[in-house]
């Protein structure tokens, strides 16, 4: 299987590392021989129809910041769309930066690949939270397989889990902690009694929070994931504007301490049901499945046959997110062979 990777930040590099680490296992277990034939970033691309050296790709990006500096096969100032036009590949891995204003350019990349009959795997929440129906309809009409497990919860299995493991169940709602940055901040505030801004600064120093943490701490990232779950798991047709969102920036150490006296914790909880699409701070009981610390994510799916089923996993990290992308690649390969 020939991969084209658009975006070579933490997740793109993680996918390359995982493909390299698991190369022999994938051949032995699945007969799946993966080669990366093209990679793009803002600087241009590296293209080799016979396959690029994954370790050299990562080394080049980390040394120069430009994938176009890849020896011999680097190309400056070429757009990702031109790369998709020019190369022979089987599956697009779309992991470019998330844009929640209009989903671009990832939306265009994915639609282009689908129109060309290519399969698509993404972790990109922007187009999925704004253009879900358009993308799934395009996939259906062109017989392109479209997978996006990594877009919600990083390594936490939830979308494929709902569709495959819980097949036959009627899933009525999903309730979860879907942002690792917020969970880290609230966990630290509860454990240390520290104020919000101090804890946010600490999270930024550790690389857990972005330099501009707005999408995380104001609940927007979690709201994107609620939209994806509502559309994919509950078969709704909604977008980001349909979610009521309250973040964590106004939570005080005093309110957390008061909750702890009652055996409660404050967590940022996302809810997806046919009656409610919401992200907001809520009280959860200590010792409950939602009393997870650090950057962990957790989600409970309410079903008619299996009752409540809860999954937990790391919600961030390049290798963790890449593991979900790899599982989607394997799923596509199984369906195609």
> What digits encode the pLDDT tens for the residues 65-123?
999 999 999 999 899 999 999 999 999 999 999 999 999 999 999 999 999 999 999 99
226 and 167 fall within a common domain:
yes
Structurally, how many domains does the chain consist of?
A: 2
Give the mean model confidence (pLDDT) for residues 266-281: 98
Mean per-residue pLDDT of the chain? 96
326 and 308 fall within a common domain:
no
77 and 111 fall within a common domain:
yes
17 and 101 fall within a common domain:
yes
16 and 137 fall within a common domain:
yes
What does pTM read for this prediction? 0.94
> What digits encode the pLDDT tens for the residues 7-66?
999 999 999 999 999 999 999 999 999 999 999 999 999 999 999 999 999 999 999 999
77 and 137 fall within a common domain:
yes
Give the mean model confidence (pLDDT) for residues 273-281: 98
The whole-number pLDDT of residue 317 equals 82
329 and 285 fall within a common domain:
no
Give the mean model confidence (pLDDT) for residues 261-286: 97
> What digits encode the pLDDT tens for the residues 298-328?
999 999 999 999 999 988 788 999 999 999 9
The whole-number pLDDT of residue 8 equals 97
Residue 269 and residue 283: Cα distance in Å, rounded? Answer: 9
Residue 110 and residue 91: Cα distance in Å, rounded? Answer: 10
The whole-number pLDDT of residue 315 equals 80
The whole-number pLDDT of residue 319 equals 92
Task: Name 94's Cβ contacts closer than 8 Å, sequence gap at least 6.
Answer: 6, 7, 106, 109, 110, 113, 120, 121, 122, 124
The whole-number pLDDT of residue 112 equals 98
78 and 193 fall within a common domain:
no
- Alpha carbon 68 to its chain centroid, in Å, reads 26
pLDDT tier at 235, thresholds 50, 70, 90: very high
What residues form DSSP beta bridges with 176?
A: 270, 299
Q: Would you call 230 exposed, middle or buried from its count of C-beta atoms within 10 A (0-12, 13-18, 19+)?
A: buried
6 and 150 fall within a common domain:
yes
Rg of the chain in Å (alpha carbons): 20
231 and 144 fall within a common domain:
no
Task: Name 248's Cβ contacts closer than 8 Å, sequence gap at least 6.
Answer: 182, 185, 186, 196, 217, 219, 268, 281
Tokens of residue 168, six digits: 């036959």
Active site residues: 225
> Which residue range is the domain that position 197 belongs to?
163-314
Residue 149 has pLDDT above 90, yes or no: yes
Task: Name 209's Cβ contacts closer than 8 Å, sequence gap at least 6.
Answer: 181, 184, 185, 200, 203, 216, 217
> What digits encode the pLDDT tens for the residues 160-179?
999 999 999 999 999 999 99
Give the mean model confidence (pLDDT) for residues 212-239: 96
Residue 274 has pLDDT above 90, yes or no: yes
What residues form DSSP beta bridges with 121?
A: 93, 147
Determine contact, residues 324/154, Cβ cutoff 8 Å.
yes
pLDDT tier at 150, thresholds 50, 70, 90: very high
Residue 96 and residue 109: Cα distance in Å, rounded? Answer: 10
CATH code of the domain in which 243 resides: 3.30.360.10
216 and 174 fall within a common domain:
yes
167 and 303 fall within a common domain:
yes
CATH code of the domain in which 122 resides: 3.40.50.720
Residue 153 has pLDDT above 90, yes or no: no
Long-range contacts for 279-283 (Cβ within 8 Å, ≥24 apart)? 279/178, 279/219, 279/222, 279/223, 279/226, 279/243, 279/244, 279/245, 279/246, 279/247, 280/219, 280/244, 280/245, 280/246, 281/246, 281/248, 281/251, 283/259
Residue 334 and residue 337: Cα distance in Å, rounded? Answer: 5
The whole-number pLDDT of residue 166 equals 96
Residue 154 has pLDDT above 90, yes or no: no
Q: What count of other Cβ atoms lies within 10 Å of the Cβ of residue 68?
A: 20
Residue 125 and residue 222: Cα distance in Å, rounded? Answer: 10
């Amino acid at each position: 299987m020939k991969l084209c990777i658009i975006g070579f930040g933490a997740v793109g590099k993680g996918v390359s590392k995982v493909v390299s680490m698991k190369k022999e296992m994938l051949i032995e277990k699945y007969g799946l021989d993966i080669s990366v034939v093209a990679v793009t970033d803002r600087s241009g691309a590296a293209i080799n129809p016979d396959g690029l050296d994954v370790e050299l790709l990562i080394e080049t990006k980390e040394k120069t910041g430009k994938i176009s500096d890849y020896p011999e096969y680097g190309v400056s100032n070429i757009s990702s769309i031109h790369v998709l036009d020019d190369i022979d590949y089987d599956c697009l891995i779309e992991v470019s930066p998330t844009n929640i204003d209009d989903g671009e350019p990832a939306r265009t990349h994915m639609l282009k690949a689908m129109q060309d009959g290519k399969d698509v795997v993404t972790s990109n929440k922007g187009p999925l939270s704004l253009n879900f129906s358009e993308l799934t309809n395009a996939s259906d009409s062109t017989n392109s397989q479209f997978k996006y497990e990594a877009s919600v919860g990083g390594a936490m299995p939830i979308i494929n889990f709902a569709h495959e493991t819980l097949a036959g169940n009627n899933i009525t709602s999903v309730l979860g902690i879907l942002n690792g940055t917020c969970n880290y901040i609230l966990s630290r505030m509860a454990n240390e009694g520290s104020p919000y801004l101090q804890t946010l600064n600490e999270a930024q120093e550790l690389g857990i929070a972005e330099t501009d943490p707005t999408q995380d701490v104001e609940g927007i990232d979690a709201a994107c994931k609620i939209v994806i779950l509502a559309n994919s798991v509950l078969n709704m047709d909604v977008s980001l504007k349909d979610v009521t969102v309250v973040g964590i920036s106004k939570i005080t150490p005093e309110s957390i301490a008061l909750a702890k006296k009652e055996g409660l914790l404050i967590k940022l909880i996302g809810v997806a049901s046919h009656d409610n699409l919401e992200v907001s701070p809520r009280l959860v009981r200590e010792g409950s499945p939602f009393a997870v610390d650090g950057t962990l994510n957790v989600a409970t799916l309410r079903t008619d046959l299996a009752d409540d089923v809860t999954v937990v996993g790391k919600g961030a990290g390049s290798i963790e997110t890449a593991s979900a992308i790899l599982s989607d690649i394997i799923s596509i390969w199984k369906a195609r062979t």
